[in-house]
Structure 1
Amino acid sequence: MRMPTMMPGEQVRADLTSSPRVMVFPVIELVATTGLLWMAIGFLDSPASPFPDQLRNLFVVAWMLAVLLRFVVPLVRARRRRFIVTNRRVIARQAQLRGRVDSIPFADIHSVRRRKGGLSVAILGQPAPLFYPEVPKSRRVEEMINRSLPPRLYR
């Protein structure tokens, strides 16, 4: 799903995506997997190896699948996660490949709280708040949104 376009007069105050730190474990896993599988492939390539060449090709395919599933997919998901605060609304895109995009006007937001490294956005009329995990600089974003909310008597 595409990100909504900005309305006339709308200004972006914060445009955040996942930090590079979320890729530390996938990079370590990629290095370990590559090392182990290519050592096995090197053994299968040796002239003294009693195994057929098709087994080597199977290991190369297994390595490619491991790289795709354990590194490329998490990288794409991490880069797709986006959290934008404008002067009128909050726009949030989930990390999935076809993640939904939430566009929440400030008038519909009751409050915003930080929780477990993410933001919990309470929306008027909704029984439970929306939770956005791993929002970078969540303390500053929480303060920014709460300052932008319209004043209410019952808050």
Structure 2
Amino acid sequence: MPYPDELLVAGERVLTHQHPHPKMLVFPALALLVTVGGAAYLAALIAPAPWAPYGFWVLGLVALGLIVWCAVAPLLRWSNTHFVLTNRRVLVREGVLTRSGFEIPMNRITSVRFRQTVFERMLGCGTLSVESASDEPLDFSDIPSVTHVYALLYEVADAG
């Protein structure tokens, strides 16, 4: 999904628009599978009981609550977190119900660094650190293709 053009200023163009690396969705997916499997197992256990219809309702509500809390909410957070690099600024937007964000103009960036653990190198993601003229460094974690974004950001910041 491209970044909305109406949020850009005149002459600004998007160089990259990314969500965090999908690795952050592994545990929510596992939580979904464990919850569904556990609920099915418990449903089979309580099926012969005379109070089974009530137990199914309670079990269903608990399982639904766990699925929303452990799987759906992280998916919504992931899909509503944006890292955008334009030719003029770095933007981060996040939040589902309450939106927050910040931006750093290119002319204020003093240094750019990236870090990758061995596991992150295998996945192709990492942490990007951007230091501006007056602020302490801002770390953006789970950036996909972090070396490409680093090179792109360095190139644009150096050209400006």
TM value normalised by structure 2: 0.81
Q: CA RMSD in A?
A: 2.4
Select 2:138's aligned residue among 105, 112, 130. 130
Aligned counterpart, 2:123: none
Alpha-carbon offset, residue 10 of structure 1: 0.8
Local SS of the residue matching 2:7: coil
Aligned counterpart, 1:89: 89
Task: Tell me, in whole angstroms, the C-alpha distance in 2 between the residues paired with 1:53 and 1:9.
Answer: 62
Structure 1 window deviating more from structure 2 (13-22 vs 28-37): it is 13-22
- Show CA shifts across 1:97-139 (max 9, x none): 534211211011111111341111101112x211111111111
Q: Percent identity at matched positions?
A: 26
Q: Residues 9-48 of structure 1 correspond to what in structure 2 (within 5 A)?
A: 9-46=11-48
Which structure: greater helix fraction?
2
Local SS of the residue matching 2:34: helix
Q: Residues 67-146 of structure 1 correspond to what in structure 2 (within 5 A)?
A: 67-94=67-94, 97-116=97-116, 117-126=126-135, 128-146=136-154
Task: Tell me, in whole angstroms, the C-alpha distance in 2 between the residues paired with 1:130 and 1:94.
Answer: 15
Q: Is the 8 A contact 1:77 1:97 kept in 2?
A: no
Task: Tell me, in whole angstroms, the C-alpha distance in 2 between the residues paired with 1:80 and 1:4.
Answer: 18
Point out where structure 1 has 5 or more consecutive residues left out of the alignment: none
TM value normalised by structure 1: 0.83
Q: What is the aligned length?
A: 148
